[in-house]
Structure 1
Amino acid sequence: MFVGHETVAFALVALAAARYGLGRERALALGVAAGCFAAVPDVDMAYAPLGLLTVHSADALAAANAFWGASTEVHRAVTHSLVVAPLAAAVFALAAARDRPVRVAAAAGALALPVGALAVSGVLAGAVMALYVLAGVAIALLARRRLALGPRALAATALVGLLTHPFGDLLTGTPPEFLYPLPWHLLAARPTPFGDPTLDLLAAFALELACLWAGVYAYHRVTATPLREHLHGRAAAGAAYALAALVITPPTLDVSYHFVFSVVAVGAVGVVEPTKRRLPDLPSAAVTGLAAVTVAGVGYTLAYLLL
């Protein structure tokens, strides 16, 4: 799950802001900030490319395994903690304050987080936490300048983004360490709702699609734009992807590249327009492409179940 983290946070905040009458522009600004903050926990993936240095062959699968293997060294630990999130959200918001004493306090907090991670989990955890703090502070500063958000709004949106992110990872990979640095674990292993590795992957894929649709719905609801204006019938072409169940190896969470890349490629139908326009309409391309991928996913699932 990658983009879904951001769209869920965007949807929650934008819809809540609109519900309480903050206005379209303000609601969208708050939603965008929450979505950006929701991306921050995945900065721990910055360590993963180092795994490629251990690969001594041109085999793509070996490279992919090395990449994801290195990512597990620190992924979904220090940056995915529900305990750390409130402290980090406060630091991010205070770092964007205009008062110097407040920024000094934020600097102290920004230093304490990586030092604490270093003391508890070692050098790698400390380095990842430092990157986490830098990313969050950078987003807070950018949101203050570009979106005109104050410390309270930044703290609230950062908290939503950081707290919702770990739950989106429940069905994929190693469970997040929700309570880091405490010694307790909410989940010892990834949930397997179906027991069938392919259906478990398809469930995770469906969750990602649902999160993306939540963001699409929120945007159209807040802007009062009918969704049908951006949804075109060519999305139905995604149904042809059901035939893939006959030719590709059933994907699993361990080996899913052939499925993920091919089903996502179906979204290209959103860009192909039967007009002479040089550039496609971006909202229409996004919505139609997402609909095509959704149809493709449903078609493949039905075909897999029937085979």
Structure 2
Amino acid sequence: MFVGHGVAAFALVGAVALSREIDSHRALQLAIVAGLFATLPDIDILYGPLGLLNGVSGVFDATDAFWSTGNVVHRGPTHSLVFAGTAAAAFSLWRRSSAGRVVAATVLVGLSAVATATGGSVAGAVTVLFGIGGLVITQFAARRGLSSGAVLATALVGLVTHPFGDLFTGEPPVFLYPFDVPVVTERVALAADPTLHLLGAFGIELATLWLGLVVYLRLTGRASRPQIDRKAVLGLSYAGAAVALPAPTLEASYQFVFTILAFGVIGATQRQLLSRQLRAVDWPRACATGLGAVTAAALSYLVVYLAVL
């Protein structure tokens, strides 16, 4: 979902810009900035690598250690709608004027202080990173001529949409942090069967990526339908994994995720890329082919899983 958050905001802002007939170049810039803001809340997972310092015995053990440590603060203050609105306003003020920068810095420091007082030093530290990361994105937007209003709009879209994407994949974010007011207390279940739930969440992610690709093609003046090489059908060979691998769940998904995403490499096997002629690579076609292969793999896995269920 790390990628999905950014792509969802990119697609949303890009589609709205297209509907309002905004210049395609400016629309692409707005969509990119919104996508960057949408990835920002997951900066809190940078605490996760500390879990590897005690030593690990393999890839899956390392993954477990990473998440068990990262989840100490993950989906806390950086995923709060209260912090999102406040931070978006601060980023906009930073873009507006020198005086605005003073106010923005004060607001962001205040958010870090609140996070420290209510969630501890680690929560405060990741909130500091959250603020710094947002200012970096704001500077990126400013260098491309985006106004303070555009920064506010894209930051709100990115930061506010992010936590809702986590409702299918883990513990619900603390939407109104630091206020102890529960909004959603349980993960949204797509199916009673945990494997079907995982496949449903994976399907939502794939649909988001396809939408993002189509919007990108429209924004860049390419064909609205992505071109997919026939080799994407190789993804159908993943059907056997439904009986060869343990049934995946959100709690034990690594084998499924790592193996199925490997089919995305199929799109990168273009002759120009293999010969390191990077400028000659048709990147949208490569992405579409890789995404098509992963989609074919997921659908074939689903069919076989349902057949043997």
Normalised-by-shorter TM-score class:
over 0.9
Tell me if 1:210 matches 2:207.
yes
Offset at 1:227? Answer: 4.2
Change (3 A) 1:202 1:125: same
Q: What's the counterpart of residue 285 of structure 1? A: 286
Q: What's the counterpart of residue 185 of structure 1? A: 182
1:253-295: per-residue Cα shift (whole Å, max 9, x none)?
A: 1111111111111011111236786443211111111111111
With normalisation by structure 2, the TM-score equals 0.94
For 1:148-227, what aligned pairs fall within 5 Å after superposition? 148-227=145-224
One-letter amino acid of the structure 1 residue matched with residue 124 of structure 2: G
Q: What's the counterpart of residue 43 of structure 2? A: 43
1:212-244: per-residue Cα shift (whole Å, max 9, x none)?
A: 112112112233321445322221221111121
Equivalent position SS for 1:83: helix
The question of whether the paired residues in 1 share the 8 Å contact of 2:228 and 2:288 is answered with: yes
For 1:106-125, what aligned pairs fall within 5 Å after superposition? 106-125=104-123
Equivalent position SS for 2:81: coil
1:6-51: per-residue Cα shift (whole Å, max 9, x none)?
A: 1110111111112112110010000000000001000000101111
Q: What's the counterpart of residue 82 of structure 1? A: 81
Alignment size in residue pairs: 304
What are the ranges of 5 or more consecutive residues in structure 2 without an aligned counterpart? Answer: none
For 1:238-249, what aligned pairs fall within 5 Å after superposition? 238-249=235-246
What are the ranges of 5 or more consecutive residues in structure 1 without an aligned counterpart? Answer: none
Measure, in 2, the Cα distance between the counterparts of 1:71 and 1:200. Answer: 23
The question of whether the paired residues in 1 share the 8 Å contact of 2:190 and 2:201 is answered with: no
Measure, in 2, the Cα distance between the counterparts of 1:172 and 1:69. Answer: 15
Offset at 1:191? Answer: 2.3
Tell me if 1:268 matches 2:269.
no
Tell me if 1:251 matches 2:253.
no
Measure, in 1, the Cα distance between the counterparts of 2:226 and 2:133. Answer: 36
Offset at 1:63? Answer: 2.1
Measure, in 2, the Cα distance between the counterparts of 1:194 and 1:72. Answer: 24
Q: What's the counterpart of residue 298 of structure 1? A: 299
Equivalent position SS for 1:48: helix
For 1:39-78, what aligned pairs fall within 5 Å after superposition? 39-55=39-55, 57-78=56-77
Measure, in 1, the Cα distance between the counterparts of 2:244 and 2:11. Answer: 37
Tell me if 1:19 matches 2:16.
no
Q: What's the counterpart of residue 29 of structure 1? A: 29
CA RMSD of aligned residues (A): 1.6
Measure, in 2, the Cα distance between the counterparts of 1:82 and 1:131. Answer: 17
The question of whether the paired residues in 1 share the 8 Å contact of 2:226 and 2:288 is answered with: no
Q: What's the counterpart of residue 135 of structure 1? A: 133
Measure, in 1, the Cα distance between the counterparts of 2:223 and 2:10. Answer: 19
Measure, in 2, the Cα distance between the counterparts of 1:266 and 1:63. Answer: 23
Q: What's the counterpart of residue 126 of structure 1? A: 124
1:68-115: per-residue Cα shift (whole Å, max 9, x none)?
A: 101110000101111111111011122223x21111111111211101
With normalisation by structure 1, the TM-score equals 0.94
One-letter amino acid of the structure 2 residue matched with residue 152 of structure 1: G
Percent pairwise identity: 45
Measure, in 1, the Cα distance between the counterparts of 2:179 and 2:150. Answer: 29
Change (3 A) 1:229 1:8: closer
Change (3 A) 1:166 1:8: same
Equivalent position SS for 1:250: coil
Measure, in 2, the Cα distance between the counterparts of 1:167 and 1:262. Answer: 27
